[in-house]
Structure 1
């Protein structure tokens, strides 16, 4: 057990760069850690407040029905769905895609312990999201019901076991996707397509389960029965926490723990075989010598960066999901309309928001697709090759920005044209709808490079640690969120002013900010790159 704990601790410290920050004597590094901690705290607080507000709104309906237990049932199901959704496309990378496989497997440690530490790493990461969703819901339940003291004990203890079964299910699905894709020559592309398909199926299914408050009121007991049938552990959880049934409490914990232990033992016994099967690649038996083509340093670096992007399934999935969702939403609006889509995803006000804030709404998806926030970190220990290459470092950084724009701009252009058709926008609204998301794409691409230069992580052993968990990715996401939330808030506060004028002002401000960041990149880019 001590080996599992040590491995898990080392992996978590390495994933978030905490090990280096905690032991660094440089005050600059400690200052970065402090600023990062503050940024993360602000982000977590915003999400927690939003989660509390959503739970409170649902509680008002369930209170009238006399079914407050449905609040915890729904939020527990949502938490499990989030764990399943976010773990599917990173499970295979965490379990089988770590670079130090040979080093770890050569240690005098049982294979099952290595597997357990990897699954525990996934568990800790998902427990964070579980707390953000369930703690506010539990607080709302306390306010409305004023339960007995045993509720607090059962609620806190069951929190630790909620993510276990969804993580195992997601790990199996993710591993199956990797295994199926490894049978094909274009394994990475097949893996990307299959994972996107699974994610979209999950999202469509979750949307169809949602409804507005009137639907929740009409369904009443039927809603609880549906959730309990789809995920039986929800019934045990509600019986334990809301009805204080000790049998359900023990059964819920036992099923979660036993499932985890059995999965770890079985996977540990077949781990080496599975790893070999998943990492096996296919090569063509025909090779033809062709003439080499010369190009400018920028285009050579651009093609190299684009190949690096496409060659990483995790990289594409994490940064491409925003564009996929944007395109899917734009196409769906052609057939079902904004009002029907709003009802489907439990946002009745979606039609109004799209009409007045369509450019900023599209920019939210752009903010989810920043590839530059981890592009430098992904160079890893090979960054010395770029640092020593006889190429201006601004060219290297611009090639990374160009890949980001290649991923976002074409899909943004197509999606915006589709939105113009479905929303019947005027010429001014159409122009703003097309231009502002593109400005945001440039802003976030440049900001991502600058943040990654300031917060690089070059000592990773797993791409997940860089693509999903690194400090630069978190800070870049926070910058993107704040840069959109502030204009949205101003637009809502200044509703008496013409919305086009506000959006035009926002666009001009963002252009000025982009120009300032680009100038800073040209002046300080080489110095920052050489210092990492």
Structure 2
């Protein structure tokens, strides 16, 4: 058991590690930890607002008992998707394999520690979703005190079964994709498609009225429990069925044990198979024909396309942007309007909010937040190239622009054409999200130059859990949603033209872009030169 906790502690520290530049004093570590806690609290607050809207709808429809099932199902799906994205790199292709197996520790202990690390990371996100769910259910349903005891103890077991399924899917997809010539690209496409389908289904539900939501999920709850039987056990368990309570906890714990046994028993062989497949392709080093910047851009794009976890985590905002556009343009009655006049009013409101919703999604996709850290132990090779710091940083930012900008322009243009937007509204739909996206890229690069981490063993953890990623994501959400709400209020209450308010916001975003560019060229280049490789 002591060996398990030793490996488990090492894995957690590797995930939480912020790099050598953050090991200098306790004050910096305390600041980083405080930042993580504040981000988690903000995530929980956003989930609480979202869940309260659904809770009110379920209470109005008299199907409040189905509400926890829906939230648990969503939490399980999020766990499944996030676990798929980094199970392979954490377990099957871990970079610390040789180091761990040089120690006198059994493979099952190593796997158990890695799965426990994965469980803790997923539990942090799961509890941010499930903690407010229990409070909201209590507010509307007024259950007994024992409900909270049963609910929050069972919530600890929620991530276990999805982790088992994610590990199986990750292994099967990787093995199946390896039969193709571009195996990593195929695996990446599958992961992105799975996330896209999930977001499409989830966001399509948010466009319904309260009555429609309640009516839909009174029946869909039964469908969900049929598709995912542990949901029924969870629902019955928290409502007082002790046998179902034990069944859910027991099956969840058994799922953890199955992963540890199977992967621990054959860990060496499994890792050997995946490592062999990963290195079987020929490695070619060819001279760049398009210039130094182009060569660096191609290198980073190839790395992004070869990792489903990186693609899924760094492009989730763009996927949300495409899904949101599809949902809004799919039909006029999707917003729960009872009359044509109400439909026009709702469409008018969304027309005002569109540039800011698009900007929010665009700012949540930053490919630069971990671009420096992802160089890892090979950063010294990048530093040894006969190129300036400005060229390297420009290439990092160019990758962000090449991938994000076309999606933003196409979504904005399609929305403008189909909604018959004016020239001013069309300009806002395109320019504002582009500026927010550029700001996210420039800010992410600056933050990563300040908070880099070259000691990672799992590249997805760097792209998922680092402070630059969280700061850019939440700052983008806050600086787009609040102005959007303010513009909508001014438009509805004071009849302020969207051309005026939107023009002011565009100028402010442009000023921020200029400021970030100046910082990147002056301070960013100096920070790059001072990094200890």
TM-score scaled by structure 2?
A: 0.89
User: Is 1:340–2:334 an aligned residue pair?
Assistant: yes
Looking at structure 2, the residues matched to 208 and 362 of structure 1 have their Cα atoms a distance apart, in angstroms, of 17
- Map 1:227-376 to 2 at 5 A: 227-242=224-239, 244-279=240-275, 280-281=277-278, 292=287, 296-330=291-325, 336-337=330-331, 339-340=333-334, 351-376=347-372
**Deviation, structure 1 residue 16:** 1.8
**Deviation, structure 1 residue 426:** 0.9
Q: Give the match for residue 41 of structure 2.
A: 45
Is the 1:98–1:463 Cα contact (8 Å) retained in structure 2? no
Q: Give the match for residue 511 of structure 2.
A: 512
Q: Give the match for residue 7 of structure 1.
A: 7
Q: Give the match for residue 393 of structure 1.
A: 389
Looking at structure 2, the residues matched to 34 and 286 of structure 1 have their Cα atoms a distance apart, in angstroms, of 43
**Deviation, structure 1 residue 204:** 4.1
Distance 1:308 1:21, change over 3 A: closer
The match for 1:445 among 438, 441, 448 is 441
**Deviation, structure 1 residue 101:** 1.4
The match for 1:214 among 211, 216, 220 is 211
- Map 1:91-106 to 2 at 5 A: 91-106=87-102
Is the 2:19–2:452 Cα contact (8 Å) retained in structure 1? no
User: Could you say what secondary structure the match of 2:365 adopts?
Assistant: coil
- Map 1:489-528 to 2 at 5 A: 489-495=485-491, 496=494, 497-528=496-527
**Deviation, structure 1 residue 263:** 2.5
- Map 1:49-68 to 2 at 5 A: 49-68=45-64
Q: Give the match for residue 530 of structure 1.
A: 529
Distance 1:73 1:304, change over 3 A: closer
Mean CA deviation greater in 323-332 or 196-205: 323-332
Distance 1:240 1:50, change over 3 A: same
Number of aligned positions between the proteins: 520
Mean CA deviation greater in 44-53 or 128-137: 44-53
User: Could you say what secondary structure the match of 1:494 adopts?
Assistant: helix
Is the 1:158–1:237 Cα contact (8 Å) retained in structure 2? yes
- Map 1:136-215 to 2 at 5 A: 136-206=132-202, 211-215=208-212
Looking at structure 2, the residues matched to 284 and 125 of structure 1 have their Cα atoms a distance apart, in angstroms, of 33
Is the 2:57–2:213 Cα contact (8 Å) retained in structure 1? yes
- Superposed CA offset, 1:152-208 (max 9, x none): 322221111011001111221122111111122211111111212222333445456
- Superposed CA offset, 1:360-410 (max 9, x none): 222222123211000000111221223343322122111100110001111
Looking at structure 1, the residues matched to 451 and 46 of structure 2 have their Cα atoms a distance apart, in angstroms, of 28
Looking at structure 1, the residues matched to 478 and 216 of structure 2 have their Cα atoms a distance apart, in angstroms, of 37
- Could you list the runs of 5+ residues in structure 1 that have no partner in the other structure? none
